[in-house]
Amino acid sequence: MASSCMEGGIHGSMDMMDISDDDMNSEVLSDDENHVHEDHFSFPNSSTCWVCNGYYGPNFGEPLCSTCHAFLYNTEPAEELETTISDDEDSGNDEPPFKDKTEENDDDDEDDDDVDAEVDVDVDDVEEDPDNDDVVEDVVDDVELEVDNDMPENQPAEHEAPERPMAVERPRPSAPRSLPQLMELLCEARANANEMGVGAIIPSIRPNHILSFPVEIMVIIFSYLDDMSMWKASEVCKQWNQIIAQNTSQQMWRKYFKERWPLFQNLADVPNWMKLYGALMSSCFCRTCLLQMALKTPPRRQNAIRANFLRNDFRLVNSYATEGIEAIPLDKQNTYWQASIQGPPGSPYEGGKFFIFIFFPERYPMIPPTVRFLTKILHPNVSRHGDVGIDIFQHNWSLALNVSKVLLSVQSLLTDPYTEVCMEPDLGYMYEHNRCRFESLARSWTWKYAMFELIPPR
């Protein structure tokens, strides 16, 4: 009896051990499944434009197609009409005073003589100046010195002077097409394709004909690209990535990076500036917004009220640096700004630094600015394009608000989401009914996209 009880107890304990092991294995598998599911999380309808659902064409992996982006997010400064007020009482309808032809010819001769005299003087100055040759030689030496400094570091000594190195000063990224241009392309695309006979030409082209080009030809082609286009080309294939990495110095990539992300702080050693440049670009919601952020408005006369408000905003933002808030204008007209906020302590965004794009229209401060997240963030009140769902950007805008208060409102929104009206309803439902999974996803996105200051890519 005792032996049977002992055997039953042993078998029962063994069964309990088996059950506990099975439970533990199932728990581990469930955790792994959840982890895999979290890593592969994506917004619904991410394969096409989430506004037109692919009606205007493909979005090429972006949240919006180019046509919807130009229609909904137009950040081109409005052109102002220049009007001049004259003190003359003449209305402008009177005919000009009569002038003899002989007087006109005499005036023309005098003008020609003046022009010839100026040209003669300039030519004489150039010929008589003995230091011009030295100046030209100094300029040539400076250019050669810049080219030598931008040579790749790992290149052998015998290849230190190629026939055509990568360009030192690259062109600026071209602005995104405006809505009229895109609508014109949509209207004429099919007609142009039929006229040119694209259907008969495309089958005759071999699929990998570009990859058969020599490396020297590809280096020359890449030298005419701006930094954003060159980075996009490096993402096409491993061969292009290797060519660009070997023929572009780390100093150049560091220069491009500082120009695009002036608020980034080097808290750790950066082993590869090209990879860091690509990581920051890949961490953004929309690449069209990156192109808009890279625009530079031409210098022109602006509204005095707008200029004073923006000057005060910049001064106040600097006083809030201890709150983890920074902002800096990207052009002289103060039209495009880049801002950054630190993740609030105690939230799943803690430790991350999120970059924000701000556009100030011509009628600011009478109308609110456009504020969008550049860094990817998982939040119910932030759309997959980066738009922030706060009422102060719509009907509750006030002249008492400024850039620092707007950024503080965005930062406080990270700790207290408003789920009754969401930019992303799926995330709002997850926040209300599965808080643990939402916080785990938000924390993983923070580590993946907003921690490059502490953990740079290698």
Question: Is 127 a residue whose pLDDT tops 70?
Answer: no
The residues with which 30 forms a beta bridge, in sequence order, are none
pLDDT score of 269 more than 60: yes
Radius of gyration of the chain (CA): 31
Q: Is the pLDDT of residue 352 over 60?
A: yes
Cβ atoms of 199 and 193 within 8 Å: the answer is: yes
CA neighbor of 74 nearest in space, from 175, 173, 189:
175
Quote the tokens at residue 102: 């002989």
Within 8 A by CB and 6+ apart from 61, the residues are none
Is residue 58's pLDDT more than 80? Answer: yes
Would the pLDDT of 92 be above 80? Answer: no
**Between 246 and 41, where is the model more confident?**
246
Tell me the mean pLDDT in the region 262-266. 90
DSSP structure class, residue 250? H
Residues 378-427: tens digit of each pLDDT: 999 999 999 998 888 888 898 889 899 999 999 999 998 988 888 888 89
Q: Is the pLDDT of residue 449 over 90?
A: yes
Give every CB contact of residue 66 below 8 A, 6+ residues apart in sequence.
Answer: 56, 57, 59, 176, 177, 182, 288
Arithmetic mean of pLDDT, 27-48: 56
Q: pLDDT tens digits, residue range 199-212?
A: 444 444 455 577 77
Q: Helix or strand or coil: residue 203? A: helix
Q: What percent of the chain has pLDDT over 70?
A: 65
Q: Give the position of tokens 């990568």.
A: 166
Token couple for 419:
């789920």
Compute the average pLDDT of residues 45-56: 84
Q: What six digits make up the tokens of 312?
A: 């005060």
Domains and CATH numbers, the chain: 210-284 (no CATH), 291-451 (3.10.110.10)
**pLDDT-based confidence at residue 291 (cuts at 50, 70, 90):** confident
**How many whole angstroms separate alpha carbon 185 and alpha carbon 66?**
12
How many whole angstroms separate alpha carbon 245 and alpha carbon 240?
Answer: 8
Q: Model confidence at 40, in pLDDT bands (50, 70, 90)?
A: low
pLDDT tens digits along 146-198:
434 444 444 444 444 444 445 556 777 887 888 888 888 877 755 544 444 44
364's torsion region: left (phi>0), alpha (psi -120 to 50) or beta?
beta
Q: Is 178 helix (H, G, I), strand (E, B) or coil?
A: coil
Judge whether residue 342 has pLDDT over 90.
yes
pTM (global) more than 0.85: no
Average pLDDT over residues 352-368: 91
What span, in angstroms and rounded, lies between the C-alpha atoms of 125 and 123? 5
Between CA 108 and CA 116, with CA 112 as vertex, the angle to 5 degrees is 175
In the prediction, which pLDDT does 120 show? 46
What tokens appear for 70 in the block?
């130009």
Lowest mean pLDDT among 63-67, 102-106, 331-335: 102-106
Q: What is the DSSP string of 306-368?
A: HHHHHHHHHHHHHHTGGGTEEEEESSTTS-EEEEEEEPPTTSTTTT-EEEEEEE--TTTTTSP
Phi and psi based region of residue 60 (left: phi greater than 0; alpha: psi -120 to 50; beta: remaining): left
pLDDT band at 122 (very low <50, low <70, confident <90, very high): very low
Higher pLDDT, residue 308 or 169 = 308
pLDDT band for position 319 (50/70/90)?
confident
